[in-house]
Structure 1
Amino acid sequence: MEKHPLNIRTACGQQHALIWQFPQNTSGRRLLLLHGAGIAGELTWTYVANYLEGWSEILVPDFAGMGKSSFTDCPQPTVADYARQVTELLDALDWQHMDIAGYSFGGTVTETLIRESGRFELCYLLEPALLSGNDEAGLIAKAQTYIKLADWLSREPESNEPFLAFLDAVSPYRRSNAAADRVAISRLRGNVAGMVQALNAVNNSLLTNTRYFAEWTAPMPGMSMVGELSMPAMHERQARLELESEQWFTQMIKGADHSLVFTHPKQVARLMNERLQLAIGSANNAG
């Protein structure tokens, strides 16, 4: 495996990403990995990427404000702005066909990308924010929680309390572990302003698209992953998504909560590998 940093300027601003290349894999298949709010791409996906198989290249960008990417002039970005950022990067690299995975906030951006572009073939959603509630009321309540958290983080970025409240909001049933919480807070604190912008973008998206997200079905083959310790509404929504979508599967990761990409990277990668092989097998049989 080879890892190469990428720094380019596109119309929206400065873009930083990493490209993992696997010279031994000659399939030519590509994968785009999108991170969640507050923690940059490399830190989010490195351990998962180490166990992925079946892809020749993997692209891991930083969303603007989180990591080393930044918007030129976009003080209040929306989900559409983050999707535009990614699209500009893909166009600059001439990536026309690929699979995509979105974690948490990145799942919301993923939905926008697959809705607006036909370049994606297989989709993975991991603890996706847009599917965090099983009905419109649940999504509105989640948005209201994020609005309060964004405001609190803006006012008290040096305090641990708003970060703990954020962890409680996304993983209320996680196992009590003060050391793990400290690690999570230290990661999030590195990009507070970008985290606040991402939370506000999610708030806006949930409130604007409440009914659409509550009824959303997957338009392409893929898989959801949810931690065993995640909220019941998240489990219920993923189960309904699988039932109502074609060629879509939901997998629960035992012992995991919302932080599954950090705590269970081998299991995440294994499930992604298995879903890819199933998709390849289905395509071969259809051919």
Structure 2
Amino acid sequence: MACATSILLKPDTEGYLNLPQQAVYYRHYRCSAFADRRLLLLHGAGVDGQLTWEAIVGHLLHWSEILIPDLRGTGKTHFPDRTEHPFETVEVVADLSALLDSLQWDKFDLAGYSYGGLVAMQLKAARPVAVEKTYLFEPGLLNGGTEEESHSRREILLQAAQKLRVDEELEFGLETFLDAVSPQRTRNSRNEEIVRTRLAHRPKGLASILEAVIRAARQLDRAQLIAAQEHVSSFVGERSSGEIFDFCQDISRRRMDWTCHLIPGADHALPFQKPQAIAQIMNADMEKFLAAQLG
């Protein structure tokens, strides 16, 4: 299958890895590519892997295999009793490690969006040799701003999580969540209606994700986690908070292997809004990475 096409693709294989604490659903694509490389794509909170990445996968050139799992709390991945339970982001990393081992993926490139971006950074820290090139899309913990602003944002997300667990307060919980992650979005639009519908698919799973991210933000050493990353391309929406891009640029000024891209016209939902532009940048940055490796 050639992945570089405008047609939305169907995976070559899909199914479950059944673990004691989680049934992990995944989609595996095989593509004609310029290089024999593998790419793991991790989605954000509330919207599954296929919806997040399908429009991007069709424009990627450098990967012969692409793996898209549904992370805990989202999509078809579920606890054995099919009930939503609390979990930690390190448990999501353990799920992914088990999946990678089952497929014998010992070397791969990695991309993560929002919640998936935080998990991607933790996975890189846990498997530093396995992960080669990383793409981060407004990952959790890289919001910039002061500690007071970060604390305030976490409190808003916690309020959203609490309301998402109450059926009568679902709509308010969704609005609170969107206000926290994408305050400059176009409100009351058709796109927002679609987003709300998708997020409402597993609201209690979304609540568990937000709580897990908040706990991780309180417990993890952000500087240490950033230091563990290598060969990073970071993406920020032009209409997202300016502090996010400022923080990204500050890292790129200090790190020769960290590049920051501003995506015009996009907010926090950038993978959905600008898939072709993002794929082009991913392809171009991979070409530079490969050239540097040969040099």
SS of residue matched to 2:141 = helix
Q: How far has the Cα of 1:213 moved from its partner?
A: 4.8
Q: Is the 8 A contact 1:134 1:214 kept in 2?
A: no
1:15 match? 24
Between the aligned partners of 1:183 and 1:163, the Cα distance in structure 2 is 12
Q: Distance in 1 between matches of 2:18 and 2:217?
A: 30
Q: Specify whether residues 12 and 215 from structure 1 end up closer, same or farther in structure 2 by C-alpha distance, changes over 3 A only.
A: closer
> Greater shift after overlay, 162-171 or 120-129?
162-171
Report what 1:35 is aligned to.
43
Deviations 1:56-91 (A, max 9, x none): 000000012311112348821111011111111001
Q: How has the CA–CA distance of structure 1 residues 176 and 214 changed in structure 2, closer, same or farther, with 3 Å as cutoff?
A: farther
Cα distance in 2 for partners of 1:76, 1:27 equals: 40
SS at match of 2:111: strand
Amino acid at match of 1:14: A
Q: Is the 8 A contact 1:218 1:245 kept in 2?
A: no
> Which residue does 1:71 correspond to in 2?
79
- Counterpart residue number, 2:163: 152
1:103 aligns with 2:103: no
Q: Report which stretch shifted further, 116-125 or 240-249.
A: 240-249
Report if the CA contact (8 A) 2:138-2:236 is conserved: yes
Are positions 1:49 and 2:60 aligned together? no
1:262 maps to 272
Over residues 3-48 of structure 1, what are the superposed CA-to-partner deviations in whole Å (9 max), with x where a residue is unaligned? 22132213432121111111x3262200000001111111111001
Inter-CA distance 263–88: structure 2 relative to 1 (3 Å threshold): same
* Contact 1:217–1:244 (Cα < 8 Å) also in 2: no
TM-score (norm 1): 0.93
Aligned to 1:271: 281
Asked whether the 8 Å contact 1:228–1:253 carries over to 2, the reply is: yes
**Mapping 1:57-206, distance limit 5 Å:** 57-72=65-80, 75-117=85-127, 118-156=129-167, 159-206=170-217
Secondary structure of 1:216's match? Answer: helix
Q: Deviations over 1:167-211 (max 9, x none)?
A: 1111111233421111000010112121111100011011122x5
Q: Conserved in 2, the CA contact under 8 Å of 1:143 and 1:207?
A: no
Q: CA RMSD in A?
A: 1.9
For 2:14 and 2:183, how far apart are their aligned partners in 1?
Answer: 36
Partners of 2:53 and 2:248 in 1: how far apart?
22
Amino acid at match of 1:231: S
Query: CA separation of 1:280/1:157 partners in 2, compared to 1, >3 Å: closer, same or farther?
Result: farther
Asked if 1:282 is matched to 2:288, the reply is no
Q: What TM-score do the two structures reach when normalised by structure 2? A: 0.90
SS at match of 1:63: coil
The one-letter code of the counterpart of 1:129 is: G
How big is the shift at 1:218? 5.6
Identity of aligned residues (%): 31
Tell me, in whole angstroms, the C-alpha distance in 1 between the residues paired with 2:259 and 2:100. Answer: 27
1:274 to 1:100, Cα distance in 2 relative to 1, 3 A: same
Q: In 2, distance between residues paired with 1:80 and 1:58? A: 23
Contact 1:218 1:241 in 2 (8 A): no
> What is the alpha-carbon distance in structure 2 between the residues aligned to residue 25 and residue 13 of structure 1?
32
The answer to whether the Cα contact below 8 Å between 1:10 and 1:89 also exists between their aligned partners in 2 is no
Q: Mark the CA change 1:257 to 1:26 in structure 2 (over 3 Å): closer, same or farther.
A: closer
SS of residue paired to 1:160: helix
Shift of 1:283: 0.4
Structure 2, unpaired ranges of 5+: 2-9
SS in 2 for 1:70: coil
Instruction: State how far apart, in whole Å, the 2-side matches of 1:109 and 1:76 are.
Output: 16
Deviation digits for residues 212-238 of structure 1 (CA, Å, limit 9, x no counterpart): 359834631011000000001111111
The residue matched to 1:75 in structure 2 has which SS?
coil
